[in-house]
Amino acid sequence: MTQRVAIVTGAARGIGAATAQRLAGDGLAVAVLDLDEAATKATVDAIESAGGNALGVGADVSSPEAVEAAVERVVEGLGAPTVLVNNAGITRDNLLFKMTESDWDMVMNVHLRGSFLMSRAVQKHMVAAGWGRIVNLSSTSALGNRGQANYSAAKAGLQGFTKTLAIELGKFGVTVNCVAPGFIVSDMTKATAERIGQDWEVYVAARAAEIPVARAGQVEDIANTVAFFVGEGAGFVSGQVIYVAGGPRT
């Protein structure tokens, strides 16, 4: 069988990098997409050193022209993509009365507009193949989180986006699902600790103490769940949101 091709956005580091490496380990060729193409090198090198096949691609997922060009590069370099993981994301946290229009728009553009543009560009390849997997990254913040009106709204929006695409694309053999991480040790959560002025180790310990399984999440926890949705065994699972948070709401 021809090797399947996956695109993972925001894959230069963190959850995206772990997901790209996990999918490559499962036998997929992986396009490692990030805003800065040079930043994808570490992930690409890790995949290739493990015997996998990867391509680093730089693109602004909020730009339709950049997205179309990036997908064409993937088609030329690896083949037609039939797996898409919409992971790219940013935070611009602030309380509502301090939040600027720019803070709001930037978060919406990367999370929601970016996932829309990437999904629209890739779905034609999935439809043509009669098989596809789209996995969107939401968050427990979709349930509400102080100081994250923009991020929470975007992550909640991705859940509705997921369910709608599942309805539209199911008849073409395409499943669409959503992973909603809880507290994960990553550069993004380190930035949050810095923003609120807390020592990182103290912050992690405090967050872990609130989680029923009594530990902080790791990027591999999310990558493993994405891999389940991408796999053949999840072909009858679509339009679902899994909270990977160590408990029912943490």
State pLDDT tens for residues 31-73: 999 999 999 999 999 999 999 999 999 999 999 999 999 999 9
Active site positions, annotated: 151
Cα–Cα distance for residue pair 25/168, rounded to 1 Å: 30
For residue 188, name the pLDDT band (cuts at 50, 70, 90).
confident
* Position 172 pLDDT exceeds 80: yes
Where do runs of H (alpha helix) occur along the chain? 14-25, 41-49, 64-77, 101-108, 114-129, 149-169, 187-195, 200-209, 219-230
- pLDDT tens profile 193-233: 998 899 999 999 999 999 999 999 999 999 999 999 999 99
| Residue positions counted in the chain | 250
Q: Domains (ranges, CATH) in the chain? A: 5-182+218-244 (3.40.50.720), 183-216 (no CATH)
Here the tokens at position 146 are: 């102080």
